[in-house]
Structure 1
Amino acid sequence: MAVATAGAVNAPKKSRVKDRQASMYPIWLLYPAAAIYGILFLLPTITSLYYSLTRWTLFNSEFIGFDNFIQFFQEPFLYQALINTVIFAFVTSGLKVVLGLALAVLLTSPLIARDFLRSVVFFPVLVSTVGVGITFTILMHPTEGVINETLAMIGIDGPGWLVDRNLALYSVALVDVWRGVGLATVIYIAGIVSIPADYYEASRIDGATRWQQFRHITLPLVRPAMFTVIILSFIGGLRLFDLIWTMTKGGPGFSSDVMASVVYKQYQSGFYGLSTAGNVVLFVLIAVLAVPLNMFLNRKVVTR
């Protein structure tokens, strides 16, 4: 009887040891990913934080504390760049969310050559951003561009898309929407096709119209895909640089400057520590705006 009792006592201990060993197994699989993440993200981030507090060149550095940040915030056009960055992010992400959903609904309905049209919509995503910028810079030329020449043929005086201080930022934003709406559309399509067809069949039996199906079935069930599009588009809009630099270089004047272009201009001028401090400010800006938005959207997904 004593032997049986001892065996019963030892059995849970052995099972706990086995469970602990089994639970440790997946942790080992995380080490390679953690090492890559540390080398490619954490180490450069920590290094940037340090060098933002220095006056540095390729060969030496001098610790100067927060002087770079003080000087950066004294830049005369910094606040304009901050406002432009937020405006650009909201305009581009908003248009991608709406247009991407509209295109996804269209491209999941019965259409002739539907697969071909999906490829056409996604194609701009595959094109180099610099190539897109150069192409649209030519197309939007105020006097010789195809867009204004086409408008002139129907009696409309085309605007100075990239030379008007009031239009330059929004012109680049429209080009970014054209280039990136294909990715949003693909994400939406993946969300729509995952909705069970039984829901639509039941709604048709009950006499629901297309609009009622969209409002009460498609729109609620595609929300996770919508939130993904919002986060990706918003962060992409906050950090965009290459398209703006290719098309306007922040001009005319400083009317289309964003945070990334201001940082690059400081780097071009040889103020490496100052540009590093600007990168840190941009990183904080993205975190302050995107992290709460992501938390809010994730909470909406969980509670519904």
Structure 2
Amino acid sequence: MTTVTDAVTEAPATTVPEPVRRRSPYPYWFILPGGVIFTVFFLVPSVMAFWFSLTRWTLFDQEFIGLDNYVQFFREPALASGLWHTLIYAVVTSGLKVVLGMALAVLLTGPILGRGFMRSVAFFPVLVSTIGVGLTFQILMHPTRGVINQALDLAGITGPAWLADPDWALLSVAFVDVWQGVGLALVIYMAGILSIPGEYFEAATMDGAGAWHRFRNITLPLARPATVSVILLSLIGGLRKFDLIWAMTKGGPGFTSDVMASVIYKQYQAGFYGLSTAGNVVLFLLVILIALPLFWFFNRKEDA
């Protein structure tokens, strides 16, 4: 005899169709404002800049000339030195910011007196106007009346003509850039170091590891994402730097502290608008060609 239980068991299983979930378009409205801002303030100006780099233009008319602006730009005598100075400036400033930022972060995350005050002092130059910093150091670095050389004279050291000496001008601006920007590197490194679990340091201390071994084997490798951020941000900033250099030296003496951005600006001043726009496109591509491979390299190393 077939029981109710057997009948239920032998009955063919019926699958209830899952309700079709309609994908709500609502989340895409969150993307729309960012997409509009990106298009209006980045994509459209970039396309327009590339177009105007192919023309000879003024405020009232334009004439399409193809790649002539690029050919003329690469024939500029100041371009080769400006490109070399740009690379030197970017490497020097980014390297010093990495080293000094890490050193200050290790110091200011340790148990020292007045730690909060010293953090504020170290970050304060980041908040000051770059033009103001440039004009101030232009006075401080005066060869004879500057405070820096006067202080060196008291110590029996003859200071160089910082901004007037062709061998020192570019490096002098780079040192000021590091002084102003190391506070940002400090904050990034502090965030990376403070995110490291304290148990690692306690275990290393119990095993007898000294300060140097804790830094080398714990802080340095685990703060690697912060190092990558500092390198990329400072390198891109160094390649694009203009305002501080222009405020302190205007590319002088001669062309010894000219970088690509100042060469482009001088072309604007001379009225070669299409030529300078082509220079901006070249500088944009240069930053991409340097920054993107570094970004991919660091990410690949991190994934490995």
TM over 0.5: yes
Match of 1:111 in 2: 112
- Give the alignment's TM-score, normalised by structure 1: 0.94
Change beyond 3 A, Cα 1:3–1:250: farther
What residue in structure 1 maps to residue 23 of structure 2?
21
Using the TM superposition, give the Cα deviation of residue 221 of structure 1 relative to its aligned residue in structure 2, in angstroms: 0.5
Offset, 1:292: 0.3
Q: Match of 2:63, SS?
A: strand
Q: For residue 154 of structure 1, report the CA deviation from its aligned partner.
A: 2.1
Deviation, 1:227, is 0.3
* TM-fit CA distance, 1:4: 6.9
Q: Work out the CA distance in 2 between the residues paired with 1:298 and 1:93.
A: 19
- Residue equivalent to 2:297: 296
Structure 1 residue matching 2:28: 3-state secondary structure? helix
How far did 1:3 drift?
A: 11
Q: Which residue of 2 aligns with 1:202?
A: 203
Q: Match of 2:260?
A: 259
**5+ unaligned residues in a row in structure 1: which ranges?**
none
The residue correspondences of 1:238-253 to structure 2 (distance < 5 A) are: 238-253=239-254
1:159 aligned counterpart, secondary structure: coil
Q: Give, in angstroms, the shift of residue 302 of structure 1.
A: 2.0
SS of the residue 1:163 aligns to: coil
Aligned AA (1:180): G
After TM superposition, give the deviation of residue 268 of structure 1 in Å: 0.5
SS state at 2:77 partner: coil
Structure of larger gyration radius: 2
CA distance in 1, matches of 2:218, 2:265: 46
Query: Where is the helix percentage greater, Structure 1 or Structure 2?
Result: 1
CA displacement at 1:49 relative to structure 2: 0.3
Instruction: Kindly state the Cα deviation for residue 224 of structure 1 after the two structures are TM-superposed.
Output: 0.3
Are 1:77 and 2:85 an aligned pair? Answer: no
CA distance in 2, matches of 1:242, 1:90: 18
What is the CA deviation profile of residues 57-89 of structure 1, one whole-angstrom value per residue up to 9, with x for unaligned ones? 111111110111111111111100000000100
- 1:228 corresponding residue in structure 2: 229
Cα RMSD for the two superposed structures: 1.5
Distance 2:130 2:267 in 1: 22
Q: Aligned partners of 1:223, 1:248: CA distance in 2, in Å?
A: 35
Between the aligned partners of 1:55 and 1:237, the Cα distance in structure 2 is 29
One-letter amino acid matched to 1:21: R
Higher mean C-alpha deviation, range 131-140 or range 25-34:
25-34
Distance 1:4 1:21, change over 3 A: farther
TM-score (norm 2): 0.94
Cα offset, 1:27, TM superposition:
3.2
| Fraction of identical pairs, as percent | 63
Measure how far apart 1:153 and its partner are.
1.7
The amino acid of 1:267's aligned partner reads Y
Deviations 1:22-49 (A, max 9, x none): 5x54333212111111111000000000
Partner of 2:209, secondary structure, is coil
Question: 1:21 aligns to what SS in structure 2?
Answer: coil
Q: Structure 2 CA distance, aligned partners of 1:153 and 1:203?
A: 46
Trace 1:80-229 onto structure 2 (pairs within 5 A). Answer: 80-229=81-230
